[in-house]
Amino acid sequence: MDIDSLEGKIVKLLMKGRPLTIKEVAEELKFSVSRVRRAVKGLASRGIVEIEELPDKKYLRLLRSDIKFHGINPSQEEAIKRKKSGKDEDKGSEKSRSMMYG
């Protein structure tokens, strides 16, 4: 599962262990309730989460604990870009030191 997808973020929240409603998940992730509801229905259809209906609220429960995430976090991606751009600058400075560029 991609960690940066909405479904990945929902599963990551549920892995913390506290019971959450769809509305609480939407507020925490800053997505609309309808978008979170669609993602939860997709997760439920694949047997990853379950929607527990209590008399006053509907809580989400994680059914599987063997979920593996893949993907690069944006902070990691920025570090990779900076590292690559640093290498390119070093190559440029070597050119400027050569005889041709004097």
Q: What is the pLDDT of residue 12?
A: 86
Q: Has residue 1 got a pLDDT over 90? A: no
| Spans of all domains in the chain | 1-71, 72-102
Lowest average pLDDT, out of 31-45, 64-78, 88-102, goes to: 88-102
Model confidence over 69-82: pLDDT tens digits? Answer: 666 555 655 655 56
Structure tokens at 95: 């050119």
**1-71: CATH, from 3.30.70.1380, 1.10.10.10, 3.30.750.24, 1.10.3720.10:** 1.10.10.10
Distances in whole angstroms, Cα of residue 22 to Cα of each of 9, 11, 33? 13, 12, 7
Where does the pLDDT of residue 23 fall: very low under 50, low under 70, confident under 90, or very high at 90 and above?
A: very high
d(CA 101, CA 78): 32
Residue 39: strand, helix, or coil: helix
Sign for the CA dihedral angle at 47, 17, 75, 66 comes to negative
Provide the whole-model pTM. 0.62
CB 37 within 8 A of CB 53: no
Q: Which candidate, 38, 60, 34, 36, places its Cα nearest to that of 49?
A: 60
Which residue has better confidence, 98 or 46?
46
